[in-house]
Structure 1
Amino acid sequence: MSNYRFKSHRGIWIVLFWLFSLPSFAQLNIEIFGGGASRIPVAIVPFADENALPQNLTPVISADLQRTGLFRLIDPAGSSPHAPVEVVYSDWAERGANALVIGRVTQLSSGQVEIQFRVMDVAKKAQLTGLALTVPATQLRAAAHRIADVIYEALTGDVGVFSTRIAYVLKRGERYALQVADSDGYNAQSIIEYTEPIISPAWSPDGSQLAYVSFENKKPVVYVQTLATRERRAVASFKGSNSAPAWSPDGKRLAVVLTNQGGSQIFLVNVDGSGLQRLSRSSGIDTEPNFSPDGRYILFTSDRGGSPQIYRMAVTGSESSNAERMTFEGSYNVSPDYSQDGKSFTFIHRHNNQFNVAVQEIGSRQVQILTNSRFDESPSFAPNGKMILYATEINGHGILSAVSRDGQTRQHLTVQTGDIREPAWGPLPKWK
């Protein structure tokens, strides 16, 4: 990978040093490092009759919770309650469990599976929450993620993101592919593949579409593709370069970076390709736009001050050269991504000649560096703001990683061979 990071895949300059090969069916192998200082002890009892299913539920639920670094799993061996009346609370208290998850499954004649589960408070000897749902047998992993979301919210008070999806780019042989997978890396599917690069995937706010840049016509063009139908359309195919799409919170417009009027500047365009409007005007490179959750501001990267830094500008009805500089620590800060509450943003910060994931509070401007690897890029907040997905490099190979907002827990999402790049964490599913 290049040491000159501002000439990035998201901006007008494209540097691609990808030498990788990856089967489309490969799953991500998750390694977890660290964990919170005070983790919640939880026991998850295998659900009654789940061994008869094509996919066990409780291993998926356990893996989801464990990846957060917030939970300590208590071994349920030797005890298997499946209903509240069967729970001996003193037994679980002696094991050190604060919460107990129990449940059962029933296979229906229709081919669907009925799942019932409960989360029990060991100290209060009472039910915290529960859920009953019926799903096709082909959707058992999705059901397990939903259950993990319910457990996570009941025990932490924050919304769970296990039912979300991630997007990323890979190259297989001579072909580049845009893939979508579950948040744990399973069920990866190629959305589109070409022999030319595909970069900068960005999720629509409702998760039904992806915007991205394709070089299939020998120049960068911004496309929007509907995931359910695979239908797509070019929304920015102007003279010169078209890059770095970012969705407005209402899903009606995209911020894009164009060179059709000279230089690399930020524009707005409607999702159907109409209504082009210029936003930024500077003598430098303005790139990597990212909307605030309320749609009032855009964070972006610019070298207008002499070095790559992150700026903020208001989204108005006319173009402007006015922008507030947001980053001041160091000479290199790029790739901003707002948190869902709009109070902070993640970005890549160069520190001791390393490119690391960092977070800055907008109010206090306090900066926290979260990683210590050599080359990190493309940080993307989880929709609950608790984790950050990013690409990094290990032993010369590009992999996906995630780090908790406090930097206490890291995950490496690796594959057996090859490299993957350009991650983007999708929004909460509609049922949330």
Structure 2
Amino acid sequence: MLLSGSLVFLSCLSISFNSHAQGIDIIITEGMNNARPIAVVPFKWTGSTVLPEDISDVITSNLQRSGKFSPVGLSSMPQFPTSDQDVDYAAWADKGIDTVLVGSIEPIGPDNYKVNYALIDVLRAQITGGESRTVVNGELVLNYDHIVVSREKEITGDQFRQYAHMISDTVYESLTGERGAFLTRIAYVVVKDRQTVAKPFQLYIADYDGANETRLLSSPEPLMSPAWSPDGNKLAYVSFEEKRSQIIIQDIYTRERTRITDFPGINGAPTFSPDGTQLAMVLSKDGNPEIYVMDLNSRELRRVTRHRAIDTEPTWAPDGKSIIFTSERGGKPQIYQVNLNTRRAKRLTFDGDMNLGASITPDNSHLVVVNRTKGDYHIARQHRESGNMLVLTRTLLDESPSIAPNGSMIIYSTLHEGNQVLSLVSLDGRFKALLPAKEGQIKSPSWSPFLL
């Protein structure tokens, strides 16, 4: 069953933000050869009007972009069933397709719709003939264990896309055992031509796939380093609107902005603690750029690092007990970890000329960094226990990696055909995609937490 309150949540996601047309698209460049085949059959529409959104098309795109699935095209489908009863299991098995998603959409009132769907294990269905029988308390009971998941939900017209993401998450988790991250957002900064745009620095949020792009802020001065709060309701970022750096927290629904710091010198790289009660940041108010942590309720500030070298780019460990950061204390930028209780720091990276901009996967198994080797900046991952590092990308001047909340994908900024764009790479490096902007330079991506 869907979590209670899901419709309320969908309504919240549908609040108008002054949405603009989609500004980025995902173009897959590598990684579909080893993906698992799956069929997403177009959901049957029983109404007479045009659907608000093509649910099956959104699901197909989501699964394909995950890098783990290769949805078959319509021309390769042997039939177009709308329920389990309509599925010819042998026909699908003959095509080498072992999983099929079917569904239907029915109008039930003004701007109200009933959506049914079922995910079917074709191979298991062939073995059981579509059903099996067991005895429970002395009675014969039919089992349909070839139906991996089957659900029904009533939604409104403005909830189609979000519900498609929810179905995609359910399919992904049912087949991989890993939570899906399709119902998430990304934040990023777009820089437009300063000669033609009065406020060229613009802060955007969008669905993870670039849809529903919404501009939160336009500024004549730079905006940098957006970071999501753990509840997905706020963004912390750096603004130079007052001709100096300040850390701002903005509510993405009310648009209310709160200035958090305005110290002399550097105010940079804000990042929320896992419980949302604290904000790590870089300040140079005491002379040298160091890592600080602020309690957001009391505004009490404590200094975490104390070194003559530059310490920057903090990110929290998943347990909230330590902070990973970049430091030049070894000569060139490398990644260190500082215990918040003892304030003792240890070096974590050694491969290549330098490493910077680290993030930690949600399961704490890997560091994701920008690695420079022989002058090339690429996204790399380092295993926390073994220390082994694997370079994941071959793009140019990669920076600002941000990890999906399920740890499966990394979004980052890179250079493509002379423009700054966003790009995706899977944690294993097999799947790659570009997210080029229709206009302007796009950078500083930040992947939201799970939104449900």
Calculate the TM-score normalised by the size of structure 2.
0.87
Correspondence list, 1:304-343, <5 A = 304-316=329-341, 320=343, 322-343=344-365
Does the C-alpha gap of structure 1 residues 395 and 37 become closer, same or farther in structure 2, counting only changes over 3 Å? Answer: closer
Which residue, 387, 391, 406 being the options, matches 1:369? 391
Structure 1 Cα separation of the partners of residues 384 and 311 of structure 2: 20
Tell me the residue number matched to 1:131.
151
267-276 or 289-298: bigger deviation: 267-276
1:272 Cα deviation from its structure 2 partner? 4.4
**Equivalent position amino acid for 2:302 in 1:** Q
Residue in 2 aligned with 1:254? 279
Q: In structure 2, what is the Cα distance between the partners aligned to 1:75 and 1:307?
A: 50
Counterparts of 2:189 and 2:439, CA distance in 1: 15
Show the counterpart of 2:73.
75
Within 5 Å, which residues of 2 pair with 1:206-217? 206-217=231-242
Tell me which amino acid in the other structure corresponds to 1:151: V
Residue 324 of structure 2: aligned partner: 299
2:305 aligned partner: 280
Cα distance per residue 1:50-72 (max 9 Å; x no partner) = 78312111111101111122112
The equivalent position to 2:189 in structure 1, one of 169, 184, 188, is: 169
Could you tell me whether the CA contact under 8 Å between 2:22 and 2:212 is conserved in 1? Answer: no
Q: Does the CA contact (< 8 Å) of 1:26 and 1:415 recur in 2? A: no
Contact 2:291/2:311 (8 A) holds in 1: yes
Distance 2:42 2:99 in 1: 14
Partner of 1:12: none
Largest Rg, 1 or 2: 2
Q: Distance in 2 between matches of 1:165 and 1:92?
A: 35
Alignment of 1:160-199 (within 5 A): 160-172=180-192, 173-175=197-199, 176-199=201-224
Instruction: Say if 1:357 and 1:376, in contact at 8 Å, map to a contact too.
Output: yes
Structure 1: stretches of 5+ with no match in the other structure:
1-22
Aligned to 1:15: none
CA–CA separation in structure 2 for the residues paired with 1:323 and 1:55: 51
- The AA in structure 2 aligned to 1:79 is Q
Q: Cα distance, 1:37 vs. partner?
A: 5.0
Q: Map 1:398-417 to 2 at 5 A.
A: 398-417=420-439
CA distance in 2, matches of 1:352, 1:108: 62
1:418 Cα offset (Å): 2.3
Answer yes or no: is the 8 Å Cα contact 2:78–2:91 preserved in 1: no
Cα displacement (A) at 1:95: 1.4
Q: 2:178 aligns with which of 150, 158, 162?
A: 158
Quick check: 1:390–1:401 contact (8 Å CA) kept in 2? yes
Q: Distance in 2 between matches of 1:116 and 1:293?
A: 37
SS in structure 1 of the partner of residue 362 of structure 2: coil
- Structure 1 residue matching 2:101: 3-state secondary structure: strand
Q: Secondary structure at the match of 2:164?
A: helix
Alpha-carbon separation, structure 1, partners of 2:63 and 2:203? 27
Task: Tell me, in whole angstroms, the C-alpha distance in 1 between the residues paired with 2:112 and 2:249.
Answer: 34
> Are the equivalent residues in 2 in contact too, given 1:180–1:189 (CA < 8 A)?
yes
How far off its partner does 1:96 sit? Answer: 1.2
Aligned residues: 405
* 8 Å Cα contact 2:22-2:210 kept in structure 1: no
Q: Distance in 2 between matches of 1:281 and 1:44?
A: 55
C-alpha separation between the residues in 1 aligned to 2:214 and 2:112? 24
The alignment's TM-score, normalised by the length of structure 1, stands at 0.91
User: For 1:148 and 1:404, how far apart are their aligned partners in 2?
Assistant: 18
What corresponds to 1:115 in structure 2?
115
Give the whole-Å Cα distance in 1 for the aligned partners of 2:57 and 2:311: 46
| Alignment pair present for 1:266 and 2:264 | no
Q: Could you list the per-position Cα deviations for residues 157-199 of structure 1 after superposition, in whole angstroms to 9, with x for gaps in the alignment?
A: 1111111000000123242111000010000101111111110
Q: Is the 8 A contact 2:111 2:157 kept in 1?
A: yes
Shift in Å at residue 99 of structure 1? 0.2
Report SS of the residue matched to 1:230. Answer: coil
- Distance in 2 between the 1:84 and 1:304 partners? 62
